[in-house]
Structure 1
Amino acid sequence: MNNTEQSQRMLLWLVAIAFFMQTLDGTIVNTALPAMAVSLNESPLRMQSVVIAYSLTMAMLIPASGWIADRFGTRHVFLGALLVFSFGSLLCAYSPTLSMLTASRAIQGAGGAMLLPVGRLAVLRAFPREKFMPAMTLVAIPGLIGPLLGPTLGGWMVEYASWHWIFLINIPIGLLGCTAALILMPDFRGETIERFDLAGYLLLAASMVMISLALDGLGSMGFRHAVVLMMVIVGLICIAAYWLRAAHHPAPLFSLDLFKVGSFTVGSLGNLFARIGNGSMPFMIPLLLQVNLGYSAFHAGLMMIPVAIGGMAVKRFATPLVRRVGYRRMLIVNTLLVGACIGSFALFSETVPIWLRMLQLGIFGAINSLQFSAMNAVTLKDLPPALTSSGNSLHSMVQMLSMSLGVAAAGGLLATFTDLLATAPANSTPLAFQATFACMGFITACSAWIFWQLPPQDDGTGRAEGGGDAELA
């Protein structure tokens, strides 16, 4: 192995570890939320802002990550991202209030938003085209392990140490990553740096913040309905303003030409709305197990393992299944199944045997994995080369935004049903959980109509009219 190959391999490990940190922190917090609530004198049913702040900040900054890396260089931006992520983790660990913790999670998310896109950009430029896909496959493996370990590791730390350690563990890893980045990360910069569409970016970011805060305002913040309505309206106005501006701008943040590709339009809308339901489950299920069924944090984390195992077990069947039945039929049926499975969590109770709960979680993980694979592929498969980079960036932003909206919507519904059922003679908490799961399942099932708009002739062989080869991720 020559020096170039050794440097490339070390770069892959550096990016892979950064990706692992990012995905781990996206899930490790979920099982710790009830313990955090007790420590911060808050209700465990109003802790969703801790999750939303992280995913929403990532969604906001992902569109700017490529331009920032081209402007300041991959080494400086990657190093800065690790420092910001580590500093945010330190602030999270020593946050005395929920507001401080939420702000610290936003700082942590700002660092996390840059890690994978900038690392992926460095790999793209360091490897020849024929080696890029195998390289990114290696980088993606720790990203699959992070969500698998996150809930269980978070629960173990809460039970045997304290919730502060789920953030403190990032400090030594981040510092080692910084040292490695100084040595291993190449400093690639853009050959030609176009002017950044700052106004368009601010409009898009404002729309995401307004709509997410409006949904979260129904839950943890207790906003009045008039305030929520105004925030939603302002968010929609910002989206409309961006759309009108992009139609006449010579170099918009995201070209409207993307939406001339039918599969991309359907896939993006489907990703946004279908992921609202399943994106809320990593938040809702551990909360249900601990608050409603009395599980310990560690036990609740262990119960999330079947979800990850089910998802990994069916990954290899995604491509053959789509080729057999086609994207349209696959996504319509599978979206309905995901919605039904989410709704079935309303049946979780102390009388349900544990093996049945684990089977239910494993089935959810399996069909959820098929859903993600098919949605990712149908969104990107027909994009022409000139739009691939922009489309992939928008797709990543939509994924993170839908997670934020999902947690905000579920938290808002849970708080609303808890308040509505407060006067019920029996304990209102189980009923509030049941109603929330039913609503999130219904929202997911309704999004099957979006995939109905895919062309019936798209048989899933990887080539639609005017398109190129599809790759299921």
Structure 2
Amino acid sequence: MSDVTAGPVPQLARPNFRTIALIIASAMFMEQLDATVLATALPTMAHSFDVSPAHMSIALTSYLLSLAVLIPASGKVADRFGARTVFTCAIIVFVLGSVLCAQAPTLPFLVGARLLQGAGGAMMMPVGRLVLLRTVEKKDMVSAMSWLLVPALIGPILGPPVGGLIVTYLDWRWIFYINVPISVLGIVLTQIFIPNMREHKREPFDLMGFVLSGISLSFLLFGFEMTSRGALEEAPLAFALIVLGIASGAAYVVHARRPRDFAPILDLSLMRVRTFRISVIAGSLSRITQGAQPFLLPLMMQIGFGMSAAESGLLTLATAGGSMLMKAAAKPVLRRFGFRTTLVWNGVLSSLLYAACATFRPDWPQWAIFLVLMVCGFSMSLQFTAYNTVAYDDIPPTRTSSANSFYTTFQQLMLSFGICAGAMALTASRLVSGHLHPALGDFSVAFIVVTAISLLAAPVCAKLPANAGDAMSGRRNKQRRAAEVAI
């Protein structure tokens, strides 16, 4: 298929949006599954490398470092070399890193392989979404996002049971080998169905912005991750990293606001678009809670309930079942109630469902826990389908690439911070209670803390225009929105 520009795709050249969404979602599923499976296997890998389990956290943070540094550049790279080319190369780099991880004889070798794997993941996720935004008609966007999000949400849920089964019955190296067949299939389907869209207008690359944003995001991620461990001896270094991250972020803001003939690596002017700004802010608050749940829930079931990793993982599959049910319901719900009403009230509902996890106890019937988690998965998936769709409602086609890079960067940052927020709340409750190890009450406190964060998103969503996203959901307007959408 020949290269095409970034404008609308002619109808005859447009593949079925479900096909495109599922190809991209499969890559995202592989990436999300890999991260959560690895977390389950870290103790076994530590024994293999003859290091303490605490030292294995670098295998997770090295991957996050690649994401933090490279995601902001994803849109520019796709515009220059073509979305299909970059997406294919990203899968190749990811699977090459996976094979090297599986062959790693030492921890330093594994860290280097994880950096390479993260470089592929940093391009795979945002460029995949960019392909979807540029190839799917606006009226099909809600359905396409529903198909896209389900595998991406299922990945973290499947991770614990899959990881438990692999380390129990196979060698931990199979955690990385399972990426190979998925990658090969993804590469073949990408070459067949994905158009190689690119911008023919060449702009200079914002090297200074790339360096400043990379330093800021990586320092903040490492700083928050160290803070979440609750180790007093690491507190000065964690504090220094957070301060340096904030300082370099402030330097980036000054740099980005300077007049220039090309767009900065993260275009802050996009925040002037109301629907985009609200989706970024409210979505960031909600994603902190979403990032914390897959971390807190398996730990509570294993430490507090005494379940095995496989048992707790199988129970949390209820969340994946709810996500699957949402796929068919998202567009009818948004067509009936609109984006603003759905995001406000479903946001409150999903937060209360998160809070319900704080009341789980070992004597609860498993069917009751399963039911709550299934409804939670449905509500959570609906919320993020709406966020990820309405964000681009008023973004012109020429700025889609910049908006996607900006949005994906904050999405990844907030999900990572969600894990840190959950860990910090759990550690703080344990220290205040004087417990040597987390107790059930400490998990309840952590769930309530992260729930309070997501509740703050509802009043932000209430500021959306009443008919925001109507063209995407097919909802009929009583009157058309004013042409001016930026304030």
Give the TM-score range, shorter chain.
0.7 to 0.9
Structure 1 residue aligned with 2:3: none
Q: CA deviation at 1:427?
A: 5.6
The one-letter code of the counterpart of 1:444 is S
User: Is contact 1:31-1:297 (8 Å) kept?
Assistant: no
1:466 aligns with 2:483: yes
Structure 2, unmatched stretches of 5+, are 1-10
Give the secondary-structure state (helix, strand or coil) at the position aligned to 1:314: helix
Out of 385, 399, 402, the residue aligned to residue 390 of structure 1 is 402
Q: Pick closer, same or farther for the CA change 1:313–1:290 going to 2, 3 Å.
A: same
Distance in 1, matches of 2:465 and 2:131, equals: 37
1:430 aligns with 2:440: yes
Q: Pick closer, same or farther for the CA change 1:177–1:325 going to 2, 3 Å.
A: closer
Q: Pick closer, same or farther for the CA change 1:370–1:322 going to 2, 3 Å.
A: same
The one-letter code of the counterpart of 2:173 is H
Q: CA deviation at 1:409?
A: 2.2
> When the two structures are superposed, what TM-score results if normalisation uses the length of structure 1?
0.80
Structure 2 residue aligned with 1:229: 239
Distance in 1, matches of 2:242 and 2:28, equals: 29
User: Is contact 2:230-2:424 (8 Å) kept?
Assistant: no
Q: CA deviation at 1:359?
A: 1.0
> When the two structures are superposed, what TM-score results if normalisation uses the length of structure 2?
0.78
Out of 345, 354, 361, the residue aligned to residue 342 of structure 1 is 354
Q: Pick closer, same or farther for the CA change 1:291–1:445 going to 2, 3 Å.
A: same
Matches within 5 A, 1:295-310: 295-310=307-322
Distance in 2, matches of 1:285 and 1:410, equals: 10
Give the secondary-structure state (helix, strand or coil) at the position aligned to 1:280: helix
Q: CA deviation at 1:86?
A: 1.9
Give the secondary-structure state (helix, strand or coil) at the position aligned to 2:386: helix
Q: CA deviation at 1:407?
A: 1.5
1:115 aligns with 2:97: no
1:36 aligns with 2:42: yes
Give the secondary-structure state (helix, strand or coil) at the position aligned to 1:191: coil
Distance in 2, matches of 1:100 and 1:237, equals: 32
CA deviation map 1:426-462 (0-9, x unaligned): 8644333222222211222233343244356869657
Structure 1 residue aligned with 2:7: none
Structure 1 residue aligned with 2:217: 208
Distance in 2, matches of 1:457 and 1:435, equals: 38
Structure 1 residue aligned with 2:33: 27
Count of residue pairs brought into register by the alignment: 462
Q: CA deviation at 1:282?
A: 2.1
Matches within 5 A, 1:143-158: 146=155, 149-158=158-167
Give the secondary-structure state (helix, strand or coil) at the position aligned to 2:362: coil
Q: Pick closer, same or farther for the CA change 1:411–1:437 going to 2, 3 Å.
A: same
Structure 1, unmatched stretches of 5+, are 469-473
1:404 aligns with 2:416: yes
1:272 aligns with 2:284: yes
Distance in 2, matches of 1:341 and 1:160, equals: 35
Give the secondary-structure state (helix, strand or coil) at the position aligned to 1:40: helix
The one-letter code of the counterpart of 1:24 is M
CA deviation map 1:357-404 (0-9, x unaligned): 101111210110121122223322222343333223322222222111
Distance in 2, matches of 1:314 and 1:12, equals: 15
Structure 2 residue aligned with 1:471: none
The one-letter code of the counterpart of 1:196 is F
Q: CA deviation at 1:58?
A: 3.0
Q: Pick closer, same or farther for the CA change 1:136–1:433 going to 2, 3 Å.
A: closer
What is the aligned-residue identity percentage? 33
Q: Pick closer, same or farther for the CA change 1:50–1:364 going to 2, 3 Å.
A: farther
CA deviation map 1:245-279 (0-9, x unaligned): 22223222233331221221121111112101112
Q: Pick closer, same or farther for the CA change 1:133–1:376 going to 2, 3 Å.
A: closer
Matches within 5 A, 1:5-16: 16=22
CA deviation map 1:108-165 (0-9, x unaligned): 121122235445667888x797999799679847657656755543343233224321
Distance in 2, matches of 1:304 and 1:128, equals: 32
1:241 aligns with 2:247: no
The one-letter code of the counterpart of 1:153 is V
Q: CA deviation at 1:64?
A: 1.3
User: Is contact 1:28-1:153 (8 Å) kept?
Assistant: no
Q: Pick closer, same or farther for the CA change 1:419–1:83 going to 2, 3 Å.
A: farther
Higher mean displacement: 248-257 or 258-267: 248-257
Give the secondary-structure state (helix, strand or coil) at the position aligned to 1:163: coil
